[in-house]
Amino acid sequence: MIDTEKMRSIAADMGIALEGKMLTQLDTYARLLTEKNKVMNLTRIEDADGIVVKHFADSLTLLTSCDIPLGASLIDVGTGAGFPGMVLSIARPDLSVTLLDSTKKRLDFLLETAAEIGVTVAAAHFRAEDAGRSPSMRERYDVVCARAVARLSVLAEYCLPLCAVGGVFISMKGPAGEVEAAEAARAVGLLGGVTREARELVLPDGSERTIIVIDKTKRTGGGYPRPQAKIKAMPL
């Protein structure tokens, strides 16, 4: 399905070593994704090179943004077709990865895929704002990540309540990420975070990305996250 040598080379250029087993897992993941996409709307990108660069390599950029400790717990908010969470579970099998999505059919596909390729992930069928208010999930994760789910001023309220104090929230954005980071500064502060960095990078196909790293320095106030309608109508 995918050119595994190209995938290995791209990852190596990023400082990430993908072993043979990992490349096979990514190849199988790509095949299962394109097959399932025929009956379920998972991705607009179906060609092998597009999956390698715009899904797999893009997901791996998170690992270049900061040092993630061995055995860290990570939750991927609004995982969709599994990006970046499933890719991270392959490249970093030491991580305890939870995939959060509001659509159960997507999670069912990801759990079936994980079983077939031999990785362990957990699935959380929640809306993000409900997860952030759940005692079993609130401030429980070392790393919270999200890939292009919403503007950062909104996304921060979904994600920072899930992040443990001392942990990190990583937002994966397009070329306007620095603008979003500036706009969201007040929201991030109110939710207990401090923006460490907004780093621009370029994927092998020339696509521009921004990785925004936010440190969780204090607990999120009990009034957050608010109901979804308020979050969208009145961003912090």
What pLDDT does residue 51 have? 97
Over the stretch 150-186, which tens digit does the pLDDT of each residue have? 899 999 999 999 999 999 999 999 998 999 999 999 9
52: in domain: no
60: in domain: no
Residue with tokens 């990801």: 110
What pLDDT does residue 24 have? 98
10: in domain: no
- CB 133, CB 108: distance < 8 Å: no
What pLDDT does residue 149 have? 76
- CB 61, CB 16: distance < 8 Å: no
CATH classification at residue 95:
3.40.50.150
Q: What is the mean pLDDT of residues 70-88?
A: 98
What is d(CA 221, CA 172) in angstroms, rounded to the nearest whole number?
Answer: 24
Q: What is the extent of the structural domain holding 176?
A: 69-233
What pLDDT does residue 148 have? 75
- CB 168, CB 142: distance < 8 Å: yes
Helix (H, G, I), strand (E, B) or coil at 153: helix
Residue type, 104: K
144: in domain: yes
205: in domain: yes
Alpha helices in the chain (DSSP H): 4-13, 20-36, 48-50, 58-60, 85-91, 104-117, 128-133, 152-159, 177-183, 185-190, 228-233
151: in domain: yes
What is d(CA 53, CA 13) in angstroms, rounded to the nearest whole number?
Answer: 13
139: in domain: yes
CA atoms 118, 73, 170, 157: torsion sign: positive
Instruction: Report whether pLDDT(11) > 80.
Output: yes
CB-based contacts of 30: which residues, under 8 Å, 6+ apart? Answer: 1, 2, 48, 51, 52, 56
What is d(CA 30, CA 50) in angstroms, rounded to the nearest whole number?
Answer: 10
Q: 218-235 in b/e burial notation, b at 16+ Cβ within 10 A? A: eebeeebbbeeeebeeeb
Over the stretch 188-235, which tens digit does the pLDDT of each residue have? 999 999 999 999 999 999 999 999 999 999 999 999 999 999 998 999
210: in domain: yes
In degrees and rounded to multiples of 5, residue 34 shows phi and psi of -70, -35
Instruction: Report whether pLDDT(71) > 80.
Output: yes
Over the stretch 32-68, which tens digit does the pLDDT of each residue have? 999 999 999 999 999 999 999 999 999 999 999 999 9
Query: How many domains does the chain divide into?
Result: 1
